[in-house]
Structure 1
Amino acid sequence: MSAAATPPLIPSLPDDVAVNIIARVPRSHHPALSLVSRSFRSLLSSPLLFAARRLLRGTEPSLYLTLRHPSSPTHLWFTLHSSPTSPERRRLVPIAPIPSSSIGSTFAALGPLIYVLGGSVNDVALPCVWVLDCRFHRWEPGPAMRVGREFAAAGVVGEKLYVMGGCTVDTWSRASHWAEVLDPGARSWAAVSSSSIEVREKWMHASAVVDGKIYAMADRGGVVYDVDKAVWESVESELDMGWRGRACVIDGVLYCYDYLGKIRGFDMRARVWKELKGVGSGLPKFLCGATMANLGGNLVVVWERKGGGKVMEVWCAEIAVKKDEYGELVGCICWSDSVLEVSNESSIVTCLAVAL
């Protein structure tokens, strides 16, 4: 007897048409859709649906956050969820933690994947790579780097992942592989020529990608790698003096915090720092542990705030940013709320945005 035919996703419609329809449904409604049938549940967790969403340009930005807690051997991972019945209510929901334990890892998002690069255990830098498939919240080991790294810089250009720094140059191998590039399709790393670099710091405190150029900031100075031209340059002093800590890029403007706790943006075309206006009254002046990400063209800021007793609250704000008619940077806070409560011994490591 032949096996029973698989029932159609939607009766009276071909499955390819049904997939096209379901792929247009916002991800916040997927939990409810998964209750419709086994076929729906299977489709919602399949690569087919994500491929269809990408073809339809229906992907949505999703925010992922990593926390460190002294009692946990690994970093804690969360993703930001909105309730389909109360979209204004957002919470960080835990997902599977990374299988390994290390400090000083570097993070980068490429398509639906988050790469966790290196880190150290007992002060020994590691070359290992872990990959989180954000579509299914599954971890798998990635191709190891040529050298161990901690506190490196990373950036994605042209579907390839570049990593630099985080290692000493005391051997020929480390010197020749101070910068590497990963081809995800081939699952292999290759050295990026960096013999002309004057700054070869071990630790990098920040990185960003602007117009195909990777900016990597060390404690003293920084470097820029133009991927298309394969040329290295030093970071100009104006950008170097104003850029401290985590940053993100939106429409050619690099946003970060200054020493006074204000958000400022460096206009890469005008080559000047400008304060982000319009958000002063809506955000605390000093944001402890603050980090930020480009969430679908909006600036998302995540920070720590002490709660009651031994509780630490994680706060998040989404800000629509633009240039006004005078070229000034203006922001409008779309929403701001506490999205998680954890032990006050916890601390924010980083946040990243992924299109799903």
Structure 2
Amino acid sequence: MANRKRPSMALDNSTSTTTTTPIDTTPKHCKSKNFSDIDQKHQPKDSNNESVLLPGLPNHLAQLCLSSLHPSLLSSVCSSWRRLIYSPSFPPFFSLYALLSPSSSSITRNKDQDQSNSIEFFALDPISSMWRQLPSPPPDPPLRLLLRHPSFISRNLPIQSLTVNNYLVLVAATTHGFLPALSCPLVFDPVSGQWFSGPPLSTPRRWCITGSVNGTVYIASGVGTHYQGDVGRSLLKWDMKKNNDEWNWENMATLKDGRFSREAVEAVGYRGKLYMVNVKGNAVKQGAVYDVEMDRWEEMPERMVTGWNGPAAVMDGEDVMYVVDEAKGVLSKYDFDINCWEKVMEFPEHLKGAEQIAAGRGRVCVVCANNQKIVVVDVVARPVKLWVVDLLPEMEVVAVHIMPRMSRPEY
């Protein structure tokens, strides 16, 4: 699909905010050097059809020289360097990906519009600041993901997705008939720009626990075509690090009851364990921890449960956990050694009402304001910086992810 409208680059905010920029392209006056971590294992292949990158050098040596520069600098010099940074052979920089849906006002004005699949997949190119639509998922079977149902206008139906090994993994959703929408996970590879399927589930489900630890996807509890006790207590594991022909779902230690099937739960992989709570916000909740090495369930520390008052995410190799208090607009980091939450930033104006977050590359991206806004917090900068990303017109956010940029075959 062609480029959508370019988002505004200005944000008028008197606090420590900057221009509207996602993930990898903060304004020059607050750019963080840790954004474009170059993976030197990628090596280009010389071709007679390639443009000369640096006169007097073979292209594979020229690329080694150019890879030390920030992609935004390369993009501004010449078209051959711009083609290079979007080529599959160049170490990919990171971008913001989003699951977007038409806004409620847009749906009201277009009542005849087909809502059988209400989700679109986009990536915000950090060099051009353009939203670009991802390639369409395979048409067979057709994707049917329902965010809103006419009988439940005030409540969104959960669409659960993960970032695993730099892939976008669509795990669970609901169809118009209140049935599980996916018989197997749907996976997008941003570097190749291709979709593929994960292993089929013996019992497809929705309203489940979804999370990952060290490249392994976990699905627990949930509801299939109707509630079943054994499904509500089940835990399944899919190791994505294995070869594709070895992919399967393994049954692991079961939950003691089905209380987690009442909500769509985002589990967080943190220090070798899977952490989750069964209720959002400041309500009384229960926490659970799954030890992936010991294959057993544990109780969550009480102080961790108490401070878990909103969406959570991890970064730095699953070693640092953040949570946003959706009622107070406070971003906190968990201190494992002393078992407490440490406040990073309090900003109710922008962070209150957080729905979902993603963390990575020194940034925490927060979906808030009734899914109308993406707020990016630079937790590496001192002082901590915050800015807002403009959305496409008449669209709202379902989920955000941080992954390598898409290749651009048109360059």
TM-score, normalised on structure 2? Answer: 0.65
Q: Deviations over 1:99-136 (max 9, x none)?
A: 52224332111233111012121211232221111124
Tell me how far 1:296 sits from its aligned partner.
0.7
Residue in 2 that maps onto 1:327:
none
Q: Distance in 2 between matches of 1:32 and 1:145?
A: 47
How do residues 326-341 of structure 1 correspond to structure 2 at under 5 angstroms?
332-341=383-392
SS at 1:276's partner residue? Answer: strand
Contact 1:299 1:321 in 2 (8 A): no
Residue-by-residue CA offset, 1:178-219 (whole Å, 9 max, x unaligned): 322233433322224223644552134332111111113223
What is the number of residues matched between the two proteins? Answer: 317
Report the CA distance shift for 1:198/1:93 in structure 2 as closer, same or farther (over 3 A): same
Change (3 A) 1:199 1:151: closer
| Residues 116-265 of structure 1 mapped to structure 2, 5 A cutoff | 116-121=170-175, 122-125=177-180, 126-167=182-223, 170=228, 174=231, 177-187=234-244, 188-195=247-254, 197-198=256-257, 201-202=260-261, 203-219=263-279, 220-250=285-315, 252-265=320-333
Query: Does the 8 A contact of 2:326 with 2:351 survive in 1?
Result: no
Q: Given that residues 118 and 149 in structure 1 are in contact (C-alpha distance below 8 angstroms), is that contact kept between their aligned partners in structure 2?
A: yes
Cα pair 1:176 1:193 within 8 Å, conserved:
no
Corresponding residue SS for 1:239: helix
For 2:386 and 2:252, the matched residues in 1 are separated by 44
In proportion to residue count, which structure has more strand?
1
Q: Is the 8 A contact 1:127 1:148 kept in 2?
A: yes
AA of the residue aligned to 2:228: D
Amino acid at match of 1:101: R
- Give the conservation status (yes or no) of the 8 Å contact 2:235–2:254: no
How has the CA–CA distance of structure 1 residues 8 and 321 changed in structure 2, closer, same or farther, with 3 Å as cutoff? Answer: closer
> How far did residue 261 of structure 1 move?
3.0
Indicate the SS of the match to 2:65: helix
Residue 111 of structure 1 aligns to which amino acid in structure 2? Answer: N
Higher relative contact order (CA 8 A, sep 6+): 2
Amino acid at match of 1:269: D
Identity of aligned residues (%): 17
Which residue, out of 376, 395, 409, partners 1:317?
Answer: 376
How far is the alpha carbon of 1:320 from its aligned partner?
A: 1.7
| In structure 1, C-alpha distance between the alignment counterparts of 2:49 and 2:94, rounded to whole Å | 33
Is 1:114 aligned to residue 168 of structure 2? Answer: yes
Contact 1:80/1:93 (8 A) holds in 2: yes
Give the Cα–Cα distance (whole angstroms) in 2 for the partners of residues 263 and 7 of structure 1.
47
2:125 counterpart of 1:75: no
> Is 1:95 the equivalent of 2:138?
no
| Residue 232 (structure 1) shift | 1.6
In structure 1, what residue type is equivalent to 2:126?
Answer: S
Letter in 1 for 2:274: I
The answer on whether the counterparts of 1:225 and 1:231 sit within 8 Å (CA) in structure 2 is yes
Residues 129, 142 of structure 1: 8 Å contact kept: yes
Distance in 1 between the 2:264 and 2:367 partners?
21
Is the CA contact 1:206–1:245 (under 8 Å) kept in the aligned structure 2?
no
After superposing on structure 2, the runs of 4+ consecutive aligned residues of structure 1 that deviate more than 6 Å are none
| RMSD over aligned Cα atoms | 3.5
Q: Is contact 2:253–2:295 with CA below 8 Å preserved after alignment?
A: no
Matched residue of 2:228: which SS? coil
Change (3 A) 1:144 1:20: farther
- Residues 163/352 of structure 1: CA separation in 2 closer, same or farther (3 Å cut): same
Contact kept in structure 2, 1:320 and 1:334, CA below 8 Å: yes
CA contact (8 A) 2:211 2:274 kept: yes
2 CA distance for matches of 1:313 and 1:195?
37
2-side partners of 1:153 and 1:226: how far apart?
15
Contact 1:248 1:255 in 2 (8 A): yes
Gaps of 5+ in 1: 54-58, 85-89, 306-311, 323-330
Give, in whole Å, the separation in 2 of the partners of 1:63 and 1:176: 34
Deviations 1:50-91 (Å, cap 9, x if unpaired)? xxx3xxxxx53322121222555231222233346xxxxx56
With over 3 angstroms needed to count, the CA separation of the structure-2 counterparts of 1:177 and 1:27, relative to structure 1, is farther
Cα 1:313–1:234 change in 2 (3 A) is closer
Within the candidate set 55, 58, 69, 1:14 is matched to 58
8 Å contact from structure 1 (residues 209, 249) kept in 2: yes
Mapped to 2, the partners of 1:83 and 1:8 lie a distance apart of 21
Contact kept? 2:183, 2:200, Cα under 8 Å: yes
- The structural deviation recorded for 1:247 is 1.4
